[in-house]
Structure 1
Amino acid sequence: MKKYDDLKELKNLANNFYEKVFEANSYFEIVKQFEEMNSKFNDEMRISSFFYSYTRNAMVVATIMETSKLYDKSSQSINIKKFIDICYDQKHQFPKQNQISYKHEGIDYLDKRPFRHSVLPEEMEFFQKDYDNRDALEVLFTNAGNPLTVVMTIERYFDLFRWKYKRLESKIEYLLKQRNKIYAHNDENKIFKIDEIMNKYPLHYNDVEAILSFSYEFINFVIAMLTGINKPIRPINFQDWENTLHLVKVGLKHEALEYEKELGFDQD
C-alpha cells in the first residue's frame, strides 16, 4: 500500500474521498426526502408517479453503490479503513495541538492549546476510563447534563475512529454483500433469492445513515486538520425539491380556481 508521505498527496486523497462521500450522501438525502415529500405533497407527486417511483429506486441503488465504493475490498481499491491506517502512519503530517492565530495591536500571535473533544453519548464506551477518573469539578459539570470533555492527541483521535469503524464493521460487510449479490451482478443463482439475501445480510435505513455519517465525520476531520477547512455534508440547495413541489401545489390550486370559474361556481 502506498504510504502517501507527501502532504499534497495526502490532501488530494482526502479530497477525493470527500467528493465520494458528498455524492453518496446527496443521493441518500434524496431518498430521505421521498417519505417526507410524499406525506406533504402526495397529490402533487401523483401527477408524475412513474417518474417518482423510478427515481426513488434509482437513488436507493445509487446510494448503495456509491457508499460501497468507500469500503470496497478489492485488491486495487483504497477504502476508508485503509485511509485511517494511512493517516495514522502519517500522523506526523497532522498538527499536534490546536493552533489559533490572532492579531492584537498590530502584532500576530499563535496560541497553541491541547485538542479537546466533547464526548458524544455513543462514544462513552471508548472514553469510559476518562469518565471514571473525573475530578470533582468534572463530576459537577457532567452531572448537570453537560458532555464530558477530554484532552485528545492526534493518535487518540485515530484510535477513536478505528473503534467507531469496528462498531460499524458488520453493517459495512452487509452493505458489501448486498452490493455484490443484488446490485452489482446479475448472478443466475441469485435472481430468485433476493429476499433470502436481504434477510441474511440485513441493512436498514439507519445503518446506511450511520455508515455515511461516520464516513463524513472522518474525512472532514482529516481535511479540517490538514487545511483548517470544514466541508459541508450536503449541497446548500438540497431542499429545492420541496420548493418545486410548493410551486406545483400553487399551480394545482390555481387550476382548480380557474375550473370553478368556468363552471360559474364563483358567482353569488
Structure 2
Amino acid sequence: MKLVLLSSVVATASAFAPMSAISINTALRSSTEEQLEVSAVEEVEAVQEVVAPTPINGWVPDEGLPCYGLPGAIAPTGYFDPIGFARDGITLNEVKRNREAEVMHGRVAMLACVGYLAGEATGGPFGLVGPANDQLQQVPLPAFALMTVGIAAAELNRARIGWVEPNFGSWSSTLWKLRENYYPGDIGFDPLGLKPTDAKAFRNMQTRELQNGRLAMLGAAGMCAQELVNHRTIFETIEFYSKVYSGENPYAACGEGIIC
C-alpha cells in the first residue's frame, strides 16, 4: 500500500514539472519577440525621418544633382560652372551660401542698372550731374548717412533671417552657416505678392530672377568700366558710337586741340 501511494505522488509531481518549464520558456520567448518588434519599429521610424526631409519652397536637397538640385541651369549653357564653385564634394551649406551670394548680387546689379540710367537721365532730387560713377560723391552727407543706415539695417535683417548666430565657443560649426530651413535669397520680402505658392512655378520664377540677375551683373560691370574709360554718361556713349557707325565725325563739335 505504501509503495502504491509513493508511486502515485511521484507520478503526479513528474506530470506537473514539464508544464511549468514550458510556460516559462513560452513567456520568455514572447517577451523577446515583443522587444524585437518594438526595436524594428523604432529603426523603421528613424530611417523614415532621415529619408524624407521637409521641402523648402518645393526644393529637397539632392546630393546626386548639380548644386543639390537648385534651379538656374537652362539651355543653351545648361549646368555651366567652369571655375568650379559647385565642384564635387562641396557641402550643402557651401552651395546655399554661394547661391545666396549670387541671388543678392544679382538683385543689387538689377537696381544698379536702373540707377545708372535713371540717375544720369534725371539727376535725381539732388541735381546730380555727369557719369554715374561720379555722382555718389555729390550726394549730401545727411542723405549719404541715411542711405548707409538703410543698407546696414537691410543686411542685418537678412542675416537674422537666414544665418545661424555665431557661437563664440564653437566658431567652426556656426560661422558662415545658413539655417537648415532657409531657402537662399528668400527673406520674406514680397510686398507685391509675386512669390508663387506652387513648387514648379516658384522654380521657374527663381530661374528667371537668376538669369536676369546674371545679365545685370555683366551689364552693371560693363557700364562702370565704360565710364571709367571714356568718362561719358551711358547716353553720351550711345550717341558717340551712333555717330561713328553712321559715318559722322563724333569729334566735329569739339574744336581743335580739345579732347572730348
* TM-score of the two chains, using structure 2 as the length reference: 0.21
For the pair shown, the structure with the greater C-alpha radius of gyration is 2
Name the TM-score, length of structure 1 as normaliser: 0.21
**Larger strand proportion of the pair:** 1
